A = this chain, B = another copy of it.
Amino acid sequence: MNGQFQIATHVLTLLCKQPGELLSSDYVAGSMNVNPVLVRKEMRKLRACGLIESKEGKTGGYSLALPPQKITLADVYKAVKLPPALGQAKNKPNPACPVGKQIGAHLDHLADDVEAAIIKKLSTITIFDFVNQFD
């Protein structure tokens, strides 16, 4: 559960709690003690995936692009994970070793399976569900 996912989820939570309002990156960053530029970077990914919308200029900011019941945490996870999303193993095993030669592929396959399990779990929880846990 890395920092990027935390930022994205935090922002979506705020947007969900204040529907209709445009929230600025400064406001949001202040709410989580993080740098505004990082917030804008994560927002770019969320927007690329169609989860949020943004408006530039004075009175600009961010808002949800979908009802919170339609956004799952799996969507968020996949959005912030871009752009790698393909080929994550920088293996450097000894190719002269029969195990070393093959293990990279097997570990990659395993990583894919684990990734799928994570996404399956996260796909059962929407932002709406998540926010409803709050008092």
Contact = CB atoms under 8 A, between A and B. Distances in A.
Interface of A: 1, 6, 9-10, 13-14, 17, 30-34, 73, 88-89, 91-94, 97-100, 102-103, 106-107, 110-111, 113-114, 117-118, 120-122, 125, 130, 133-135
Contacts of A91: 6
B10 A93 contact: yes
Given A1-B111, A106-B133, A110-B73, A92 B14 contact: no
Contact of A97 (B9, B31, B122): B31
A114 B30 contact: no
Contact of A32 (B31, B93, B102, B133): B93
